[in-house]
Structure 1
Amino acid sequence: MAMVILLLLLVLPFALAGPPWQVCSNGSKYAPNSAYLENLTLLSSTLPKKAASNATLFATDAVGVAPDTVFAVTLCRGDINASACEGCVSSAFQEGQQLCPYSKDATIYYDTCMLTFSNKNFVDTNVGGPNWNIQRSVLKFTASANSTRQMVSTLINSTAQSAANSSRRFWTSRLDDSSFPTMYCLTQCRPNLTAGDCASCFRSASQMMLQDLDRRVGCRVQGTWCSMRYEANKFFQGDPMLLIAASAAPPEVEKNVQQHRQKRVLLIIAVAVPLASILLCIICSVVWMKRRRKGIIIITSQATTNRPEEDELVWRLEENSSEFTFFGFTEILHATCNFSIKNQLGRGGFGPVYKGLLPDGTEIAVKRLASHSGQGFTEFKNEVQLIAKLQHNNLVKLMGCCIQSDEKLLVYEYLPNKSLDFFIFDGNRTTLVDWNKRRAIIEGIAQGLLYLHKHSRLRIIHRDLKASNILLDQDMNPKIADFGLAKICSSNETQGSTNRIVGTHGYMSPEYASEGIYSIKSDVFSFGVLLLEILSGKMNSRHHEYGDFLNLLGYTWNLWEGGIWIDLLEVSIANEIDKTEAKRYINVALMCVQESADDRPTMSDVVAMLDNESVVLPEPNHPAYFNQRVIHESASLVVSCSTNDVTITAEPHGR
């Protein structure tokens, strides 16, 4: 039957009234040779080019002064090119003046564009209503009304949701089902609408589309805010952006046919079910044994467990964030040139990070979760839920995410100057960051941490503050990134504990590294290490740079006690920084890396001590890990640890 329908569609014309379609106002008119007509003519020469030059093929404008001001909005279909868009909008201006003669308020619809103009300012306020145009096919499916309604509803709602959550507010789709002919759909909103307003417009359009559906093989609903169209033949350019495999109810048949089939079905079930059960058990046993040998059965179970969490995450973000964007996977593929190696910016424990370019010219950074990583999804969920709610100049901006099957993607603002470690640990680049820039970076990181600990709606402990997680924008302003390991605490909580100790060696506080106890003072410790690294240009973990000391903390403490703390400073800034200021910064850093969390300041204290020269700083005690020393012996390298008296023995030469 599906083949018969498709043949009919090829033979019969698609019976819709031909474009253009107009909605003319019965309100005020303009006179021939009037100022309003002059302004409208001027607008008709500029707006088509403006729309064609926009990546979203959308434009608004206003010409003239009241009461002869002409306001206009135009939007071309997202699958056509700039030249076709310009031609369509130009035709709409000409047809509008002919179809709605001397009307100051008119809307013109074509297949590929929409134009509306008025003497009232509806551009920014959305005043005036959508001015719907509805066209329905006279051809009908042979399937039941219920089946048709179910299929069409699945198609338009899935496509509308994808469009509302995309940056261009545009999406196409195809629905395939064995019991129903293939259908195609296109949905689009004005890109200046929020995701919520776009979704609301789509709901109104879908209600009108389904109101008089009556098994029709095609329908279009066009408005000045959004449009929606489905047909049984492909009417848009390019491949569908979304493929939908629906599970529709079978078409209704006559009772006598159903009764005849029921007996056959029961017989088939009686024979097939036992055989299928036996076969399924055999297949499951074989698959289980193979996966057990390969050691991936745990990962599979984690991925299965994550799926309901993924759905919950999507709905929670859709409800709470109007600025957060759900990108389509195809959209991200195009932006990153199919995750080209040339676009790769780096790689971390979460997965690789790629540079991308959206159609509107916006540069993005895309963090791609390594496939089948149960641990990675936990970090992914953490980062999305946390950063989507945080707004601060010194925190990296999360623009949106993409969740499709095994693909989990985070989309950030692109920061061209990479991360802090790229500059301070590289001898060729360290001179690019003078003391004034380093001081601004230190203060920015401190302000970002203070926001997380005190001023955000949630008290957040980052747990992985380090140089590579401080990104720099075009003006070298710091932004704290990578919240995959972060923890949320209530305002009454001062600390928490975990059996899963994660973080970066060299930045972890002693109580967290040895006992799993974390608090805001854990971040303060990491900040202290980072502050010493910025001042010295040395990594905390490079023990070969510190003589007998295993880390930067012990080396700094030795210089402090000897009164030669000035030797800590990186050569390129040693002559730029005032000695009193240098001593204050080193003093603050040593206070932050005290062995006991109670002896460390809060970030509020740190900001006050860095900003106010009149604050009298207490003398610091020795830092954590300060007496980890390298003892040179003939056969081994012995390290004595201060926190738990563990002795680590390693071979003097690497293998």
Structure 2
Amino acid sequence: MSSSASFIFLFLISFLTSFREASAQDPTYIYHTCPNTTTFTRNSTYFANLRALLSSFTSRNASYSTGFQNATVGQAPERVTGLFNCRGDVSLEVCRSCVEFSVNETFTRCPNERDVTLYYDQCILRYSNRNILSTLNTDGGIILYNTQNVTSNQERFKDLLLSTLSQAATEAAGSSRKFDGRKANLTTFQTLYGFVQCTPDLTRQECLRCLQQTINGLPTDKIGGRLVVPSCSSRYELYPFYNESAITVPSPPPTPPPVSAPPRREYSICYLCAIV
């Protein structure tokens, strides 16, 4: 092989490797919680049950197309229950990637705790020795918010934000996959985007209750924020952060008086023990 041909071959290999690495990005980590109140050992029955549970989440038969799966393995007191829930607007491939990544991460972030929740932007993974299925849980949440304040017409911004997210919550609670996204005009050139989601195992009333709590806990004086708890999440931004084509987004209402707030992604974090 000539030197020029060898150079071209090596360039193509390098390009394809870089492209593969760039296209296979890891999910965006948000937060995790695993209280060190109950633990297990690696030779325990609980650990064997947990490995079986996590293996079912990464198997070829896992419910990536629906974005949600729950399971129970073993008998009390070594029983483990768990679930994963992908963000409603992501593709099957993104859901699969996020779940597989979170399963691989769990023993790094929470090596021997029995009660674990891992939050990523694209999915959530939970398991416990307690029954967490079809059970509303708003404990151990996290708030992330943009550091920039709304600088004008704050009351109008707050009213529009809460009404937009409340409408999304009502729609999400009544749907089978328990998520909704929608937008509203702030100015002629600026749009507010909102997204809410519950785990689909909740009832309509439980989902609505969870979303109302997270919406009420959002910082309404900031130009962006989210509140995530084990059973649901609410988020708003001044830029499109979700896949609108995956959601039937209602047309925004007529443009209200202007609110000057340039969208930037500079975030601070507030950790919560409970949302009440």
Query: What's the TM-score bracket when you normalise by the shorter of the two chains?
Result: 0.7 to 0.9
Question: 1:128, CA displacement in angstroms?
Answer: 5.2
Q: 1:151 aligns with which of 147, 152, 160?
A: 160
Q: 1:112 aligns with which of 99, 119, 122?
A: 122
Alpha-carbon contact 1:48-1:89 (below 8 Å) kept: yes
- Alignment-mate amino acid for residue 92 of structure 1: S
Q: Does 1:213 align with 2:207?
A: no
Question: 1:112, CA displacement in angstroms?
Answer: 0.8
Question: 1:190, CA displacement in angstroms?
Answer: 1.7
Q: 1:244 aligns with which of 252, 264, 268?
A: 252
> RCO higher in 1 or 2 (8 Å CA, sep ≥ 6)?
2
**Alpha-carbon distance in 2 for matches of 1:51, 1:249:** 51
Q: Does 1:198 align with 2:204?
A: no
Q: Does 1:170 align with 2:179?
A: yes
More strand by share: 2
Task: Decide whether aligned partners of structure 1 residues 243 and 96 sit closer, same or farther in structure 2, where only a CA change above 3 A counts.
Answer: farther
SS of 1:245 mapped into structure 2:
coil
Question: 1:24, CA displacement in angstroms?
Answer: 1.6
Alpha-carbon contact 1:221-1:227 (below 8 Å) kept: yes
Question: 1:200, CA displacement in angstroms?
Answer: 1.0
Match of 1:222 in 2: 228
Match of 1:189 in 2: 198
Q: 1:102 aligns with which of 96, 112, 122?
A: 112
Counterparts of 1:209-288 in structure 2 under 5 Å? 209=218, 212-214=219-221, 216-239=222-245, 241-245=249-253, 248=256
**Alpha-carbon distance in 1 for matches of 2:61, 2:234:** 20
Deviations 1:245-303 (A, max 9, x none): 16645559xxxxxxxxxxxxxxxxxxxxxxxxxxxxxxxxxxxxxxxxxxxxxxxxxxx
Q: 1:44 aligns with which of 54, 59, 62?
A: 54
Task: Decide whether aligned partners of structure 1 residues 40 and 196 sit closer, same or farther in structure 2, where only a CA change above 3 A counts.
Answer: same
Match of 2:101 in 1: 91
| Structure 2 gaps, min length 5 | 1-27, 261-276
Alpha-carbon contact 2:32-2:119 (below 8 Å) kept: yes
More helix by share: 1
Question: 1:65, CA displacement in angstroms?
Answer: 2.1
Deviations 1:322-378 (A, max 9, x none): xxxxxxxxxxxxxxxxxxxxxxxxxxxxxxxxxxxxxxxxxxxxxxxxxxxxxxxxx
**Alpha-carbon distance in 1 for matches of 2:176, 2:238:** 27
**Alpha-carbon distance in 1 for matches of 2:105, 2:30:** 8
Question: 1:68, CA displacement in angstroms?
Answer: 1.7
Question: 1:243, CA displacement in angstroms?
Answer: 2.6
SS of 1:217 mapped into structure 2:
coil
Match of 1:123 in 2: 133
Q: Which has the larger radius of gyration?
A: 1
Task: Decide whether aligned partners of structure 1 residues 25 and 114 sit closer, same or farther in structure 2, where only a CA change above 3 A counts.
Answer: same
Deviations 1:585-638 (A, max 9, x none): xxxxxxxxxxxxxxxxxxxxxxxxxxxxxxxxxxxxxxxxxxxxxxxxxxxxxx
SS of 1:162 mapped into structure 2:
helix
Deviations 1:382-440 (A, max 9, x none): xxxxxxxxxxxxxxxxxxxxxxxxxxxxxxxxxxxxxxxxxxxxxxxxxxxxxxxxxxx
Question: 1:51, CA displacement in angstroms?
Answer: 8.2
SS of 2:175 mapped into structure 1:
coil
Question: 1:130, CA displacement in angstroms?
Answer: 4.5
For normalisation by structure 1, the TM-score amounts to 0.33
| Structure 1 gaps, min length 5 | 1-17, 253-655
**Alpha-carbon distance in 1 for matches of 2:103, 2:182:** 30
SS of 2:252 mapped into structure 1:
strand
For normalisation by structure 2, the TM-score amounts to 0.75
RMSD value, Cα: 2.4
